[in-house]
Every structure is written in C-alpha cells, then in structure tokens.
Homo-oligomer: A and B are copies of this chain.
Amino acid sequence: MQNKFAAMPEPPYYVVIFTNQASSTNEGYAPMLDIMLELAHDMPGFIGIESSRDAQGFAVTASYWKTEDDIRAWRNHAKHKIAQSMGKKNWYDHYQLRVAQVSRQYDGP
C-alpha cells in the first residue's frame, strides 16, 4: 500500500484543510495537481499532505506546514496562484479552506 499518511512532527504545527466539490470540467486538472504536489513538496516548511476524493468528486485534503508563514508563502507562490485561479474558474463547484494549528495527535491501531 502506498503511504498516503503524512508525518506527525511534534506539535504545534499547522494544517490547511481544503474541501472541494469537483465540477464536471476536469480538463487539465490532473497534470496541474501533479505539478502542484511536486511544488508543495519543495516549499519551505512542508510536512506532508493527506487527500481523498470520493466517487462523487468530493475531496478533503489536509496539507501540513511548520509555520503560518510557510502557508502564506505557498498561497502566494506564483505558479500556485495560477492553479488557484484555474481551480476557481474551471475545476471546483465550491470549495472551503481553513487554516488551523495542530495541538495534539495520535495514531493507531
């Protein structure tokens, strides 16, 4: 099984929870996603990402970052800005984004 889980460093660290409903237009989405994932991995403070999209096109993605400044830098990255714009215009019927500070965590079983 491919590891779809993100690392769990000592809190506090930060999470961006991005939920979205895909539109009926997915042209260009998959290659852009690959580019963005590769780019995010190279950004300062990137910890990891956990993402799932169901059969109805609803996705929940949590990306983890060391600091809020790291999140801002990612949000403002020029290539990511282009992807955001294309997403709003073409790929998402609706999305919600929340930034939160992780305070505790555990895993199992």
Contact = CB atoms under 8 A, between A and B. Distances in A.
Interface in A61-105: 61-62, 88-89, 92-105
A59 to B, nearest CB: 5
Contacts of A51: 60
**What is the total number of copies of this protein in its complex?**
2
A37 to B, nearest CB: 15
A101 B103 contact: yes
A58 interface: yes
Interface residues of A, number: 43
Contacts of A1: 21, 56, 93
6 contacts: A4-B56, A5-B19, A5-B96, A88-B108, A92-B109, A97-B105
Interface of A: 1-2, 4-6, 8, 14-15, 17, 19, 21, 50-56, 58-62, 88-89, 92-109
